[in-house]
Structure 1
Amino acid sequence: MNLFRLDASILPGASTSAEIADAAEAEWAAAHPDGTVTRRHIGTGFFPSDAWTLATTAGFTPEADHSPAQREAVALGVALAEELRGADAAILAVPLYNFGVSQHFKIWTDLVIAGGGPATPLLKDTPTLLVTTLGGGYGPGTPREGWDHSTPYLERILADVWGADLTVVKRELTLAATTPGMEDLKDLAEQARTRALDAARAAGRALAGV
């Protein structure tokens, strides 16, 4: 059994999304002690800035005419796509940054699509957990309701484009403990953390088929 694990936090040592994903992974690993985990830390392991352009333009160029840089970019996209295709289960931990999807996740997605095809269901029926964390509150009735432009995109790519059997665990108010003006939200933030960890453990067991 192979678990694909992606992290997009730029602060891996203090990542709230990684903490939740770790809880899910631990449940999967307990059920599959001989399983393998394929990891991608895209928040700290950056892709070349021109890789997507090169991989995409290669699609409009006869293979025999590809430049060395195009061939390298295409190979990268294919390798990233194959990591998804080979997964029996997947966990993706992707924080919200500046009200939108992580730039690291976006370029990774673009490269996967370049390597695997724009309509290829790379995660078709694969049990998949999306963990996403948000520094503030974005739910109904909050001042920033509708400002979360990340989660809908993540769900669209994972479920609708790649066909994943998707579960979403979202934790809000992750900045309440450290941000002036959010002191009154600390209790709510801790409750949100507890709920997210519990949901992640349950999702990890489901990923493992337990």
Structure 2
Amino acid sequence: MTLLRIDASIQGPRSASSALADLVVAEFAAGRPDEAIRTRHIGADPLPSDVWATAVGANFTPEASRTPEQVAAQALAKELAGELVAADAVVLALPLYNWGVSQHVKTWIDLAIAGAPTGTRLLDGTPTVLVVTRGGGYGPGTPKEGWDHSIGYLRRIVGEVWGADLTVIERELTLARVSPAMAGLVELADSLQQQAEQASREAGRALAAHLDAEADAA
């Protein structure tokens, strides 16, 4: 069995989303130490943004007429789709950038969709933990309420289009300790961090338990 982890942060070791994903994976690994963990960091190693159009074009071009670029693009798209289909559990660490998903995430999603037949549920029933972090606050009554255009989109794609058995972990105010304008929110931010960390640990244990149950039923 395999756990697939996708990270999209551009913050390197300072990444709040990756830190939460680390907790999920650590708990999973503690419960299922022999499982393979496959990782892809699309923030540190971005997918080429122009490949998606080439892959789509290849899907509408007879195989014998495809250019080398189309062949390569379609191969990458099929690889990404195949990673999702083959995974027994998935952890996605996808932070909010500029009020939406980053270009890295959008390219990855578009390519994965292009790499499988139309309508394929790439994560059909697969237990999936989606970690979303936000630097500011976007809850009801805040100045930025309604500005988060990522979480609804990700729920739609991962949970509905791809069919994942989805658990969502959200952490806000990740910039409170580095932004002077947010100094008054540090205590709340620390509380939200603790809650997200606890939820991440629980999600990791749940993933391991899910695979235990599958193994017992096999």
TM-score category of the 2 structures, normalised to the smaller one: over 0.9
1:182 maps to 182
- 1:184 Cα deviation after fit: 0.4
Number of the residue aligned with 2:16: 16
Distance 1:48 1:127 in 2: 28
Q: Aligned partners of 2:72, 2:66: CA distance in 1, in Å?
A: 10
Cα shift at 1:32? 1.0
Q: Does 1:191 align with 2:201?
A: no
Residue in structure 2 matched with residue 55 of structure 1 by the alignment:
55
Deviations 1:136-171 (A, max 9, x none): 000111111100001111111100010000000000
- Correspondence for 1:121: 121
Note if 1:164 corresponds to 2:164: yes
AA in 2 matched with 1:73: A
Q: Partners in 2 of 1:117 and 1:109 — Cα distance? A: 14
Structure 1 position 96 matched with structure 2 position 96: yes
- Give the TM-score normalised by the residue count of structure 1: 0.98
SS of the residue aligned with 1:168? Answer: strand
Mark the runs of 5 or more structure 1 residues left unpaired by the alignment: none
Q: State the partner residue of 1:7.
A: 7
- TM-score when normalising by structure 2: 0.94
- Residue of structure 2 in register with 1:207 after alignment: 207
Question: Superposition pairs for residues 29-108 of structure 1, below 5 Å?
Answer: 29-108=29-108
- Worse-superposed segment, 41-50 or 68-77: 41-50
Aligned-partner Cα distance in 2 for 1:62–1:19: 45
SS in 2 for 1:138: coil
Q: Partner amino acid for 2:54?
A: L
Residues of 2 paired with 1:141 and 1:15: CA distance? 27
Task: Supply the AA of the counterpart residue of 1:117.
Answer: P
Partner SS state of residue 182, structure 1: helix
Q: CA deviation at 1:180?
A: 1.6
Is the partner of 1:40 in helix, strand or coil?
strand
Question: Matched residues in 2 for 1:34 and 1:111: separation?
Answer: 30
Q: Please give the secondary structure, in 2, of the residue aligned with 1:72.
A: helix
Cα shift readout 1:104-142 (whole Å, capped 9, x = no counterpart): 000000000000234111111110000000000001111
Which residue identity is paired with 2:145? Answer: E
SS at match of 2:143: coil
SS at match of 2:180: coil
Report sequence identity in percent: 56
Moved over 2 A (4+): none
1 CA distance for matches of 2:103 and 2:137? 21
Q: Which consecutive residues of structure 2, in runs of 5 or more, have no partner in the other structure?
A: 211-218
Give, as a single letter, the amino acid of the residue that structure 2 aligns with 1:154.
L
